[in-house]
Amino acid sequence: MVPSDSGIWKGEEERSGVSFSSGSPSPAPSPPLLYPNLGGDPSAPQFVTPSFTYTPFYCEENVYFLCKKLSLFGIADPKSNDLFAVFISNEEKQVPLFRQKASKRVDGLVVWDYHVICIQSRRDGEGRVKHVVWDLDSNLPFPLDLSDYMAETIRPLLSSSFTLDRYFRVIHAPIFLQSFASDRSHMKDPSGNWLCPPPNYDPVVAEDGTANNINEYIQIHATDQITDRSLLVDSLFSRKLGVIVGEEKLVDLFSWISSS
């Protein structure tokens, strides 16, 4: 992902206020396979965050490895059945998200071409299902309740001059981990130069040998939304590319999942 250079918000630095200077974090190597400290909450940021694979601007790969590590650490189901990869974009490839670490604005606003997060549906100590968001690029508490994340990150746009809808492609993690692939070519300019430094590990290849299909996940069209509730839930657990919902339906979708 890279910030949009649409120039919608003027007065910021080039590419919507995000600096690509040497001050950006350097690519992180794949971390050692360490389990979190068993003496505290295994999902607390101080236990798990340092162990996650993270490379700035490669959110799709960060989430791919995040799903694997959450399962490995015992924070998620061993087969990732309680995890979902979520691509956020629109037809314009201009997605305004708030509370992003890459922003220099007070409100943390960045206009990405796309973004990827992980949502987990898990039961708390009293057996209640909770939906939490893992966003490695957010400056919000980590993980965060889905409703709180939406209120802080997917804020209304206070402008009458334009409208940018934000759509969510939700993929069940076991399907995503099996099918996703990226050769990182989307992160190069026409001359073949990297837009942002790539990770220092090998690109992700799908289980069937596919080397690159990331554009299938990024391409999001409003007309592909499913409105029937039963079909929406069934499709989520069977389709390679998951399902697409608008921002007003994302919380509803996870409520339907927990009640189905």
Active-site residue list: 59, 115, 135
For residue 84, how many other CB atoms are within 10 A of its CB? 27
- The letter for the amino acid at 180 is F
CA 91 to chain centre: 17
Q: What span, in angstroms and rounded, lies between the C-alpha atoms of 231 and 104?
A: 41
Taking alpha carbons only, the member of 240, 232, 239 closest to residue 257 is 232
Q: CA separation (Å) from 172 to 126, 196, 236?
A: 25, 28, 6
- 204-208 long-range contacts (CB < 8 A, ≥24 apart) are 204/61, 204/64, 204/180, 205/181, 206/178, 206/179, 206/180, 206/181, 207/178, 207/179, 208/179
**CB proximity list for 246: less than 8 A, separation 6 or greater:** 165, 166, 167, 168, 222, 225
